[in-house]
Amino acid sequence: GQIVHLADYRPTDFVLERVDLTFELDPKNTKVEARLIFQRRESADRHAPLVLDGDELKLSSLLLDQVELPAAQYEATPDSLTIRDLPAESPFEICVTNYINPQVNTQLMGLYRTNGVYCTQCEAEGFRRITYFPDRPDVLAPYTVTIIAAKEGNPLLLSNGNFLGGGNYDEGRHFAAWFDPHPKPSYLFALVAGDLGVVEDTFTTMSGREVALKIYVEHGKEPRAAYAMDALKRSMKWDEERFGREYDLDIFMIVAVSDFNMGAMENKGLNVFNDKFVLADPETASDADYANIERIIAHEYFHNWTGNRITCRDWFQLCLKEGLTVYRDQEFSSDMRSRPVKRIADVRHLKSEQFPEDSGPLAHPPRPDTYREINNFYTTTVYEKGAEVTRMIATILGAEDFKKGMDLYFERHDGEAATVEDFVRSFADASGRDLSQFSLWYTEAGTPLVSVSSAYDAGKATFSLTLEQTTAPTPGQPVKQPRHIPLSLALILDNGQIAEPQAVEGGEYRDGVLHLTQRNQTFSFSGISSRPVLSINRSFSAPINLHFEQNAADLVQIARHETDMFARFQALTDLALPVLIAATKAVQKGEDVRTDADLIATLIEIIGDDALEPAFRAQALALPSETDIARELGGNTDPDAIHKARNATITAIATAGQDTLRRLADDAANGEAYSPDAGSAGRRSLRNGALTFLAFAEGTPERAAKAYAGATNMTDLAHALSVLTQRFPDSAETKEALAAFEKRFADNALVLDKWFSLQAAIPGEGALDRIKALMKSKHFIATNPNRVRSLVGTLAFSNPTGFHRADGAAYRFLAEQIIAIDKRNPQLAARILTSMRSWRSLEASRADHAKAALSTIAEAKGLSTDVSDIVGRILK
């Protein structure tokens, strides 16, 4: 694992003009023949050798223009193939043959087997595990792929592009050929072969072309792919209407597999999905599962333009496709569901995942400039912060210029491998705006902190607002420059109206957006007739932390009356966090937890307000999480104290609000037939939120057990079970429900994952032993990433008191697990290990235990680059 630097980028010496691949599939010995047509670039050195990437490969034969190459002319190692003395002017053909063993590929990168199906994953650098190749995203070519396999077991032979034809081959084998006319980098290559069921449909594009849609799933699971198909058609339509993007092949295929390292992969015309994000029916999938399926189906489809048609020049540009595509899927979900509720959920996720990353040892800019292992950069910073940065461009430019910029980007760079600079330049050119200071968002890490102070001068009818921005140092970036921060704001007057200032001095203010560009800046708003309440960073227009000591009365007013629903939610959070922090400190001192009357009254009023969307009220009811509280505390974290304090606060709120909560829990909608739409899901989430709170107020499992028994869909069933397991883990009701759940869903892997993770999330010291016991269960499968995540991942990411038990035993367990998982699947190990990134903010004795466990990992023999990179940075 050498360090790669953005500054070292240079184009290849050879242009790859065509790729022709032939696979003879065999579980243990697959033959791969790659015919590659290259032409030396005019600008390249006449003597430069051709260097191809490999990874654990063994060359079998090598031809140049169909003639075997003498050994002196090349050098082959498992990770590279170097060929000298190649033609200076004319195109030439290299034909590489090698054999690979998909059966033993447990990394799930390259060609592997999952449940008897051949499947590939090539992003970022998996193609080099299939054949020697210039495996980098700026090498684009059209591909022809021929797949030969035994008919038995492999009726399906799929690859990218359009189907050319197929037929019988020799000795019980058959073949199929595919051609993808759209030049693509190798990371978008895919091959799938096996025996799967299919759901078929068609989509007619805006120019009237009919596209065949196919979703492949295990036989018998076809009915569970109906929602994914519906989401796909809606995505295709939406991308035409909103971004003017039309699909460009005759066929679009999705394959669902059960062993997959991440969510899904956008291979051209042949997306491969973790089946968790395809399969759903009311009995087995929750509302959250449906929403994820819709979002991820859309995300991968949207990549066809943002990622595939326009790809990345190099992996440093990853957020060019990922940040932009997340922005696009967020917008899609906002249009399909409730925009404010989607925004609230996205910001909660950003703050709980990306903010800690950005303030810890793994902090990096959305566009980093070095990496050791690129797979470790598929982070929440590249994805979610990347989306926020795109969103800020839209805020700064306004809808019309943003659209012009997107159109210009598509027009200029279609068919190319582009950079973040190309992207930003499209918006600057389309709008005439200078985005050079804004570009710091791509190159600097860290979350800016904006401190706010304000004053109102009644005599002059002027409101003045002083803002100061600072960003703490991050690894490798000790000094930060001031950024361009777009802050949406409203000055709310006594009568609830939003003030229209006569003039604003001190900087740019347009369409309700203030442009903070200096380190310190004072804006004055004139013509403000009474002291306004300031609502700032509405809709979370910028991904920043705010320091603003706003008084409770103002927060209550915002929480009750703002027209921006995100701001209302934020005000509630701002009321709740100080209460939760004070409660934590009280627990630590052995004092009673006191709650706050403003918070309780406002919260109960809002959740009981039937004029508001149920999904919004459910978000309001879900107080800041234990992780949110830890983040707000900023250091010396004691997860047990936080847990107790939060529970005591919930108990107080629930006790005070029992009448409202009972009304919500008994809501008539209890009887409605299941539909996964956002409105129904919102009603369920409010009812279930009330059920959670009532468990605190009532202190007995009866209500949850009754809800479990009466549940008619997975959302309600799993929620009732989570209340039982979280609140009453040792009760007879819980044990019964867990046993019934296991029995009922014993043959459904995705539901068993829920069964495992519900138990792994049970708080307290006992979590570790429970998880160890579950790993011995007959249902545990160590080679299946979803299963490993549902146990080990849940402990490390979603069970603060269980993971951070004071004796450090869970850290030591995690270290053992990481070392063991790393031997099979480095990407999975490295991802789970990132759960340790905030160890320095733990209280001293936990931090010591964590450090010791991390050191055990660092010292282990034979670590992958993936894990060694993460552990090295976390410990640094």
Of the residues 235, 284, 311, 375, which one makes contact with ligand B3K according to CB under 6 A: 375
d(CA 178, CA 162): 6
Of 478, 482, 470, nearest to 547 by C-alpha is 470
CB 737 within 8 A of CB 760: no
Residue (271 or 325) nearer to Zn ion, CB: 325
Cis geometry, peptide bond prior to residue 225 (ω within 30 degrees of 0): no
Q: Which is nearer to ligand B3K, 375 or 524 (CB)?
A: 375
**Per-residue mark of binding to Zn ion, 707-746 (x: CB under 5 A):** ----------------------------------------
Q: Cα(89)–Cα(307) distance, rounded to whole angstroms?
A: 32
Contacting ligand B3K within 256-315 (CB under 6 A): 262, 264-266, 299-300, 303
The answer to whether 33 is a known catalytic residue is: no
Gyration radius from the chain CA atoms? 28
Number of continuous H segments (helices) and E segments (strands) in the chain: 30, 33
540 contact choice in Zn ion, ligand B3K, none (CB below 5 to 8 Å, kind-dependent): none
- Exposure string for 770-787, b = 16+ CB within 10 A, e = fewer: bbeebbeeeebeeebbbb
- The residue (of 374 and 718) whose beta carbon lies closer to ligand B3K is 374
User: Distance of alpha carbon 33 from its chain centroid, rounded?
Assistant: 35
Q: How far is the CB of 267 from ligand B3K (least distance, A)?
A: 9
x/- track of binding to Zn ion for residues 323-352 (CB under 5 A): --x---------------------------
Nearer to ligand B3K, 224 or 299 (CB): 299
Active-site choice (294, 300, 444, 626):
300
Q: And the tokens for 687?
A: 């009812």
For the bound state, the minimum distance from the C-beta of residue 557 to ligand B3K, rounded and expressed in Å, comes to: 41
Q: Give 121 or 325: the residue with its C-beta nearer to Zn ion.
A: 325
H helix runs in 504-612, sequence order: 552-561, 565-588, 597-607
262 binds, among Zn ion, ligand B3K, none (CB under 5 to 8 A by kind): ligand B3K
Closest CA to 180 of 252, 98, 257: 252
**Footprint of ligand B3K on 75-134 (CB under 6 A):** 123-124
Q: Judged by CB, which is closer to ligand B3K: 326, or 762?
A: 326
Indicate the residue type of 856: T
Residue type, 230: D
Secondary structure (DSSP) of 197-248:
EEEEEEEE-TTS-EEEEEEEE-TT-GGGGHHHHHHHHHHHHHHHHHH-----
Residues of this chain, 291-330, that bind Zn ion according to CB under 5 A? 322, 325
Q: Give the number of other CB atoms < 10 A from CB of residue 623.
A: 21
What minimum distance in Å lies between the beta carbon of 189 and ligand B3K?
13
Residue closest to 294 by CA, chosen among 304, 280, 307: 280
**Residue 397 or 830: which CB sits closer to ligand B3K?**
830
Residue owning tokens 């499947």: 119
Question: Shortest approach of ligand B3K to residue 668 CB, angstroms?
Answer: 40
| 617 touches 607 (CB < 8 A) | yes
Q: Residue 292 carries which side chain, given as an amino acid letter? A: N
* Residue 265 binds which entry of ligand B3K, Zn ion, none, CB below 5-8 Å type-dependent: ligand B3K
Nearest to 260, CA basis, from 244, 249, 276: 276
Residue 796 site contact among ligand B3K, Zn ion, none (CB < 5 to 8 Å, cut-off depends on kind): none
Q: Which of 777, 804, 801 is nearest to 790 (CA)?
A: 777
Instruction: Find the binding residues for ligand B3K in span 319-338 (CB under 6 A).
Output: 322
Q: How far is the CB of 263 from ligand B3K (least distance, A)?
A: 6
State the DSSP code for 842.
B
State the minimum distance, in angstroms, from the CB of residue 254 to ligand B3K. 13
Residue nearest to ligand B3K (CB): 123
Considering CB under 5 A, how many residues would be counted as binding Zn ion?
2
CB of 304 to Zn ion, least distance (A): 11
Tell me which long-range contacts 72-80 makes (C-beta under 8 A, separation of at least 24).
Answer: 76/132, 78/54, 79/53, 79/54, 79/55, 79/128, 80/51, 80/52, 80/53, 80/54, 80/132
Shortest distance in whole angstroms from residue 462 CB to Zn ion: 47
Output 318 or 575, the one with its CB closest to Zn ion. 318
Question: How many chain residues are in contact with ligand B3K, going by CB under 6 A?
Answer: 12
Tell me which of 189, 260, 378, 525 binds ligand B3K, using CB under 6 A.
378
Question: Which residues bind to Zn ion, rule: CB under 5 A?
Answer: 322, 325
Residues of the shown chain interacting with ligand B3K in the complex, contacts defined by CB under 6 A: 123-124, 262, 264-266, 299-300, 303, 322, 375, 378
Active site residues: 300
